[in-house]
Chain A
Amino acid sequence: MAELLNSLDRNVVLGMAQAAAAIALCFGVVMLCRRFAVHVERETVISLARGLVQMVAVGVVLALLLHGNLLIASLILLAMACAAAVTASRRAPEIKNPLLVCFYAIAAGSSVVIAVLLATKTLTTDLVVLVPVGSMIIANAMNACAQAMERFKADVTDHVGLIETGLALGAEPTATVAPYVQTAVYASLLPRLDMLKSLGFVWIPGVMAGMLVSGASPIYAGIFQFIVVAMILAASGIAGLVATLLMRARVFSTAAQLTLRPGISESQHPRETNLAV
């Protein structure tokens, strides 16, 4: 509790005023978009409100659990992965169990990467280190998962004729959508690849900036930041691949029928009965 009270200093009041300025700028952009008939008012208000409340809540939780152990950190990261899965699953409501697909993809990507970071002692098990870095990895895995699913869904629904032609010629379902699996995984990786390429030239990420402020060696801070961004790429690759492969399995019935078609969701298709052995 003392940690929480210590954090409620005048910096918080200053921070809220600065947040208000940031929100005002966002509203300005929304108004500009409105002039071009791009209506994002409602979504922006909801996103800003959610973002602010969530980040304040995270601050409160971190202040309360500043010296928590690995178990508490793991539980926090698990909760974050669940929340990320809920957000990403909204991209593909047409498929069966989108929430599970997203959770498996995000959990696979982030857990592998966090485990490697811990095993190589790049990260310590301190909650204040593990949770912020872990959350960055989970957030990027979530974005990769959502981008892969959205791209795969768009490609499949745009190429129904070609896919069904392949099926009608006796092709396995996986063969008919192979090009779209590739483009979906690539699309999910591309922003992270660009991020890695522009590292240091176009942007100096927050982790490095924080380390420099707290007096770390600039060279080590740079290397550490590279590791984090490289791990973000790895987590995104795993999440994008797992999400696409799980989605691929769900856009076909067991009788090799394409169930994801424009205007028809998977759940609306009659169940098939296979007698083949």
Chain B
Amino acid sequence: MSETSSKESTVKPQRSDEGSPVSTPALEAEHLSRAVVGKVITNNISVQVHVGEILAVVGPSGSGKSSFLRLLNRLDEPTNGVVRLRGQDYRELVPEELRRRVGMVMQSAYLFPGTVAENIKYGPSQQGSSLPVEQIAALLQRVGLSGYQKRDVSNLSGGEAQRVSIARTLANAPEVLLLDEPTSALDEESAREVEDLLLDIIRERQMTCVIVTHNNAQAGRLADRTMIIEDGKPVAVGPTSEVLKNG
């Protein structure tokens, strides 16, 4: 672990808006590990993410970045360690509730067959509530897709599909947003547009965010702090500029 990180890779809260009282972390991983068939994929990661903070997780392909992210909303089960959401052990939460509070945008958009509006409504409808048409329109406007409600998802470009996927996740009003290489499947122009959109939304909603990226420049543009993972282990974590400079 590089000198930018603290002992056991636990990072003291270091917000860009230093001076405000430090509260309970929005999301906290403590000694988080996962092994499958004896192979360690994620190895003893401890990190805190505070409200409104963006943490980037970078590292080479196959280093365990996405595997770490999947542990944070319990899509996979850790073999050791714990995740806390606002101080509460996430195993105390019903998984469906946890995943509504910790939203995730995946590398591919994975839109459900049907219209854009049906996709946006999906999350709330799983709780038995119906998303008003005005809110659907507002979400689509926010991601730059006004008037797309009735479009069939099979007719969308890659960039448009990813924007729908972002709006669909936001429809659940999550407290924490997990982004798994959200622009890596897009062309350069679309990737930059989606990245700008994400940054705007995260900042305006003061969302807590963990973004996995293999692109250090993207981490530099987006993240307050960055954690480097190699072979499943955290090797550096701290303010993005310092971590990337040393890394």
A residues touching B (Cβ–Cβ < 8 Å)? 161-162, 164-172, 175, 253, 255-258, 264, 268-277
Check B108 against A255 for contact (C-beta < 8 Å). no
Check B168 against A270 for contact (C-beta < 8 Å). no
- Across the interface, which residues of B come within 8 angstroms of A171, CB to CB? 96, 122-123, 126
Which of B98-106, B197-205, B239-247 has 4 or more CB atoms under 8 Å from chain A?
A: B98-106
Check B36 against A270 for contact (C-beta < 8 Å). yes
In the assembled complex, how far is the CB of residue B50 from the closest CB belonging to chain A, in whole angstroms?
23
- Across the interface, which residues of A come within 8 angstroms of B112, CB to CB? 162, 165-166
**Nearest-CB residue, chain A, relative to B101:** A170
Looking at B76, B94, B104, the one whose CB has the most chain A CB atoms below 10 A away is B76
Which of B18-26, B57-65, B85-93, B224-232 has 4 or more CB atoms under 8 Å from chain A?
A: B85-93
**Nearest-CB residue, chain B, relative to A179:** B113
CB-CB under 8 A for A269 and B77, given A169-B172, A276-B91:
yes
- Across the interface, which residues of B come within 8 angstroms of A168, CB to CB? 73, 75, 99, 103-104, 106, 169
Complex A-B: 6 CB contacts under 8 Å: A165-B106, A165-B112, A165-B165, A168-B104, A169-B122, A169-B123
Choose one: B36, B74, B89, B165; the contact of A255 (CB below 8 Å).
B74
CB-CB under 8 A for A167 and B79, given A161-B110, A256-B95, A275-B92:
no
Q: Report Cα–Cα, A271/B104, bound state, in Å.
A: 23
- Across the interface, which residues of B come within 8 angstroms of A169, CB to CB? 99-100, 103, 122-123, 126, 168-169, 172
- Across the interface, which residues of B come within 8 angstroms of A172, CB to CB? 96, 126
In the assembled complex, how far is the CB of residue B116 from the closest CB belonging to chain A, in whole angstroms?
15
Q: Does B127 contact A (CB under 8 A)?
A: yes
Per-residue contact bits, chain B 22-45, to A (CB 8 Å; 1 contact, 0 not):
000000000000111100000000
In the assembled complex, how far is the CB of residue B90 from the closest CB belonging to chain A, in whole angstroms?
9
**Nearest-CB residue, chain B, relative to A169:** B123
Q: Does B234 contact A (CB under 8 A)?
A: no
Secondary structure of the B contact surface, majority rule: mixed
Q: Report Cα–Cα, A274/B74, bound state, in Å.
A: 11
In the assembled complex, how far is the CB of residue B52 from the closest CB belonging to chain A, in whole angstroms?
22
Check A167 against B75 for contact (C-beta < 8 Å). yes
- Across the interface, which residues of A come within 8 angstroms of B95, CB to CB? 167, 255-257, 276
CB-CB under 8 A for A170 and B106, given A257-B76, A273-B91:
no
Q: Report Cα–Cα, A274/B89, bound state, in Å.
A: 10
Check B93 against A276 for contact (C-beta < 8 Å). yes
CB-CB under 8 A for A253 and B77, given A171-B96, A273-B91:
yes
Q: Report Cα–Cα, A271/B36, bound state, in Å.
A: 11
Check B96 against A276 for contact (C-beta < 8 Å). no
- Across the interface, which residues of B come within 8 angstroms of A270, CB to CB? 34-36, 77-79
Q: Report Cα–Cα, A167/B75, bound state, in Å.
A: 8
Check A275 against B89 for contact (C-beta < 8 Å). yes
B117-145 CB contacts (< 8 Å) to partner A: 122-123, 126-127
CB-CB under 8 A for A166 and B122, given A257-B74, A269-B77, A275-B92:
yes
Q: Report Cα–Cα, A63/B100, bound state, in Å.
A: 65
In the assembled complex, how far is the CB of residue B115 from the closest CB belonging to chain A, in whole angstroms?
16
Q: Does B17 contact A (CB under 8 A)?
A: no
- Across the interface, which residues of B come within 8 angstroms of A274, CB to CB? 91
Q: Report Cα–Cα, A161/B104, bound state, in Å.
A: 12
**Nearest-CB residue, chain A, relative to B169:** A169
**Nearest-CB residue, chain A, relative to B38:** A268
Check B96 against A256 for contact (C-beta < 8 Å). yes
Check A170 against B123 for contact (C-beta < 8 Å). yes
- Across the interface, which residues of B come within 8 angstroms of A253, CB to CB? 77
Check A164 against B94 for contact (C-beta < 8 Å). no
- Across the interface, which residues of A come within 8 angstroms of B172, CB to CB? 169-170
Q: Does B97 contact A (CB under 8 A)?
A: yes
Q: Report Cα–Cα, A175/B128, bound state, in Å.
A: 12
Q: Report Cα–Cα, A161/B94, bound state, in Å.
A: 21
Looking at A175, A255, A269, the one whose CB has the most chain B CB atoms below 10 A away is A255
Check A268 against B37 for contact (C-beta < 8 Å). yes
Using A169-B123, A169-B168 as known contacts, list a sample of 8 further A-B pairs with CB atoms less than 8 Å apart, ordered by residue number in A.
A166-B122, A166-B126, A168-B73, A170-B97, A171-B126, A257-B76, A268-B36, A270-B34
Q: Report Cα–Cα, A268/B96, bound state, in Å.
A: 23
- Across the interface, which residues of A come within 8 angstroms of B168, CB to CB? 169
- Across the interface, which residues of A come within 8 angstroms of B78, CB to CB? 270
Q: Report Cα–Cα, A276/B123, bound state, in Å.
A: 21
